[in-house]
Chain A
Amino acid sequence: MSARRLFTYAWPAVPIIAALLFTAALLVIFDASPLESLVAIFQGAFGDQSKTLSVMAFWVPLTLCSIGLLITFTAGLWNIGIEGQIIMGSIAASWVALKIDAPDPLQVPLELIMAMLAGAFWGALSAVLKTRGKVHEIFSGLALNNLAIILTNYLISGPWQPPEGGTFRGTQPFADAALLPRFADSRFSPISLAITLVAIGMVYVTLRGTFWGLKLKSLGKNPFSSFLLGVASERETILAMMFCGALAGLGGSIRVLSWFDSLRQSISGGIGFLALLVVMLANYRILYVPFITFFFSAILNGSITLQLRTQLHSSIGGILTGVMVLFVLLFGDSRIFKFFKKEDINERT
């Protein structure tokens, strides 16, 4: 019994170790020392204060998106459109930052709120297309992602281009008052950390303690039975997508207001897709999420140093995270748990 319990708790580590071994093998093939590379990644992530802060600054929006996805995953929705929701959030925040001059204590909150509304709106589009138009959210999500990218490109090369002429790279930097206050010249904003911690708590309570959370869980597991039990599937689907969209939009605004200082091309940096991987790895367990996002954030930021030190491309970090998710899905706990369940029954009889 205790051995099995230990195994059950230790199980999530298995794919991580397997992925590390796999990446190590890959490094050996490319004539690099795995240990050296690991040290380089670690130093790249935590070597000095500015590096650690950079990891934290990347962690914030990634975590916001991941916990948002927990809501949609719980409701059985594949919110691939999260990238678009992030981008729409960053566009809305940029719009306020560039065009609206609110009194000082209101400027940044207004940006954040507009970003959440924009993200929620983009999520609601996907949801309504699903409930009314019978379009699967994966397809509408992909389409809406592209639309959001095109809109960004249009804005930075057209109406919002810097006065010195469009470079297709970004808008002009926002005024200082429009940015989130950052810590010690880094990209990290302590306010965004506070917001994220509150958001984690909110999602935790929503999923564990509210009736709405229970309805989402039920909907995700069996839509028809849930309908028979009285769950209004359309309403909950739209609300779940809007909830996730709002968090993603918030993440997007933090990308423009603290990681960068302007609206850029590929503003999301792929954190939406990365968040999808995080949630698959976490398998609905919200308390794992902040740790997984931290791990991903450290690996991805550390890889930049890896590239500077060795001749390896920094994408090795992306490979490691990708492979890890593949291993998680491959070793998917379903199979191993089934194995144990069988034993359970034998024990009982």
Chain B
Amino acid sequence: MEIDLQDIRKYFGSVKANDGINMQLKGGHIYGLLGENGAGKSTLMKILSGYQPPDSGQILLDESPSKFDSPAQALKSGIGMLYQEPLDFPPFKIIDNYLLGKDNRLRLDYKTVEAELMEFSSRYNFNLDVQAFIDSLSLGERQQLELVRLLAGGAQVLILDEPTTGISAEQKELLFDSIRILAHEEGKTIILVSHKLDEVQELCDHAFVLRKGKLVGEINIPCSNESLVEMMFGQIPERSDRSPQIKDKAMLKIHDLTISTYRMQIESINLEIKSGEVFGLAGLEGSGQELLMQTIAGLIKPAKGKIFLDGVDMTGWSYHRVRDELTAYVPAGRLEAGLVSGLSITEHVVLAEPEHAFFVDWKASREDSEKRIVEYQIVGTPGTMADELSGGNQQRLLFALLNNPLKLVMLEHPTRGLDVQSTNYIWEKLYSRRNDGTAILFMSADLDEIIERSDRIAVFSGGIMSRVVDAKSTNVDELGHLIGGRE
């Protein structure tokens, strides 16, 4: 099926998630859709799969304009989406799941349906036991079931959202083989949404790259990883000259650290960050950099290795204990992780203070908040609720909550959603902490920011940390190489 997306626009408040996207996709091809978090991939795919309507623009399917009010309607028109988390009912059997939403008669026709299910699964070499319960299946098997369900529903276009996250290498191979059959033999249109350049290189024929809500490029595959990286991140301006304030004292030392989560294994990280240093972690979303940071912060227990802060072994300490040692962790989640909806700025300030009396001195706290509001240029009053602030002001509030002094600050996407001026301002504030010897460790999806702000940089790719590079002498080519996972 041919798809023609014409000038698709979707705004959320002042955020232009999709800002006039035009795209043509043909049957029989596998397309990669690339872009960093917030580039607008999910929004575009949700529009195409009927999950949400666009504000303006048109979707043409085989040259006829189409409009969907729901994913079910989109599937009727031939568009199916495979979500990261399969939409199934764990307490049910495979066959019941398959029947759900498919057969709406009173009496269920198990026999025919079972035959149909078997036929589909053998065509793509899936090994599905129709009587098995969903909760006994692996994520990969649940994905296969979902795929079969979409195909049986008549999908001619399949959107796969990060389909390889959390599945085994074998299942990934099986999935890729079936995708190739679907596209190249059966003429279906496949869209692979992914962060992983290697997978896009391996599977796709053509890639579209989105950045800040716009289609910034398309390219036939195979191509070099660097050209993809350059499209994803754009031209990187020259790094401005700035005097480092690195002191001759190791603030954070990581020795042979192994992190093991159900999604990813990160082996033997060795790293030393000096007092007053700004260290940037680059890499595509979910490559392991946030796991390293969360492990240092005490949110994840390391499987092996040691972490020293200012000479003290703090391996395996709880988050609160690490925090009491004058560290701060600023997550990217804002209202999900970091701020509390329904609490005022003052209440946040009181909570974040290191020392607490039994009774809260509200008057003094309000005055303190007032000061921080001025200092961090937050548009709000001490009584303003965190959820009433705009995104940028929420970000500024997170910084206003940082205490003084600190030995180590860990930041996830510190300036996401801020304008240039606020970004500069926040970084000036952070730089001023270097005089006290604060070490700054941050990750960002923005290569500009990584190169501009760091003293040194390490790149994560698929759970592996690259060698450490000097920010002054590196360039996009080198980082692109590393992001793609090649030395």
A residues engaging B (CB < 8 A)?
209-212, 214-215, 217-218, 221-222, 224-232
Contact = CB atoms under 8 A, between A and B. Distances in A.
SS class, residues of chain B in contact with chain A = loop
Given A217-B347, A229-B351, A210 B360 contact: yes
- Most chain-B Cβ atoms within 10 A of its Cβ — which of A215, A225, A231? A225
Interface stretch (B70-78, B202-210, B333-341): B333-341
A216 to B, nearest CB: 11
A210 B319 CA distance: 24
B359 interface: yes
B98 interface: no
Given A210-B360, A221-B341, A221-B343, A228 B329 contact: yes
Given A211-B356, A227-B319, A228-B331, A221 B351 contact: no
Nearest to A213: B360
B343 A217 contact: yes
Given A214-B351, A229-B352, 16 more contacts: A209-B359, A209-B360, A210-B358, A210-B360, A214-B350, A214-B360, A217-B347, A218-B340, A221-B342, A221-B343, A222-B339, A226-B340, A228-B331, A228-B337, A230-B352, A232-B320
B357 interface: yes
- Most chain-B Cβ atoms within 10 A of its Cβ — which of A209, A230, A231? A230
B383 to A, nearest CB: 14
Contacts of B93: none
Contacts of B352: 229-230
B214 to A, nearest CB: 26
B323 A225 contact: no
B456 interface: no
B195 interface: no
B340 A229 contact: yes
Nearest to B348: A229
Contacts of B348: 229
A218 B347 contact: yes
Given A209-B360, A211-B356, A229-B348, A218 B331 contact: no
23 contacts: A209-B362, A210-B358, A211-B350, A211-B358, A211-B359, A211-B360, A214-B347, A214-B350, A214-B360, A215-B351, A218-B343, A221-B341, A222-B335, A222-B340, A222-B341, A224-B336, A225-B335, A225-B336, A226-B340, A229-B338, A229-B401, A230-B351, A232-B320
Given A218-B340, A218-B343, A226 B359 contact: no
A226 B342 CA distance: 12
A225 B340 contact: yes
Nearest to A217: B343
Interface size class of B (residues with CB under 8 A): 20 to 34
Contacts of B335: 222, 225
A302 B82 CA distance: 60
A120 B333 CA distance: 36
A321 to B, nearest CB: 28
B360 A226 contact: no
B339 to A, nearest CB: 6
A221 B343 CA distance: 8
A281 B71 CA distance: 39
B347 A225 contact: no
Contacts of A231: 351
SS class, residues of chain A in contact with chain B = helix
Contacts of A230: 320, 323, 351-352
A128 to B, nearest CB: 18
Nearest to A209: B359
Contacts of B360: 209-211, 214
Contacts of A232: 320
Nearest to A223: B340
A218 B358 CA distance: 16
A5 B374 CA distance: 31
Contact of B359 (A210, A221, A224, A225): A210
A229 B335 CA distance: 12
B343 A228 contact: no
A76 B352 CA distance: 20
B337 A225 contact: yes
Nearest to A215: B351
B357 A224 contact: no
A217 B337 CA distance: 16
A232 B321 CA distance: 11
Interface string B304-345: 000000000000000110010000010101011111111100
Top 9 nearest A-B pairs (CB, nearest first) are: A222-B340, A229-B351, A211-B356, A225-B340, A221-B342, A221-B340, A218-B340, A211-B360, A209-B359
A211 B401 CA distance: 17
B341 A218 contact: no
Contacts of B358: 210-212
A132 B97 CA distance: 34
Contacts of B357: 211
Contacts of A210: 358-360
Nearest to A211: B356
Contacts of A227: 319
Interface in B358-401: 358-360, 362, 401
Given A210-B358, A210-B360, A225 B350 contact: no
Contacts of A214: 347, 350-351, 360
Interface string B244-270: 000000000000000000000000000
Contacts of B351: 214-215, 218, 226, 229-231
Interface string B273-296: 000000000000000000000000
A225 B320 contact: no
A209 B341 CA distance: 20
A333 to B, nearest CB: 14
B11 to A, nearest CB: 15
A91 to B, nearest CB: 33
A202 to B, nearest CB: 13
A232 B319 CA distance: 10
Nearest to A232: B320
B377 to A, nearest CB: 20
- Most chain-A Cβ atoms within 10 A of its Cβ — which of B319, B341, B360, B362? B360
B347 A228 contact: no
Contacts of B338: 225, 228-229
A217 B347 CA distance: 10
Contacts of A228: 319, 329, 331, 337-338
Contacts of B347: 214, 217-218
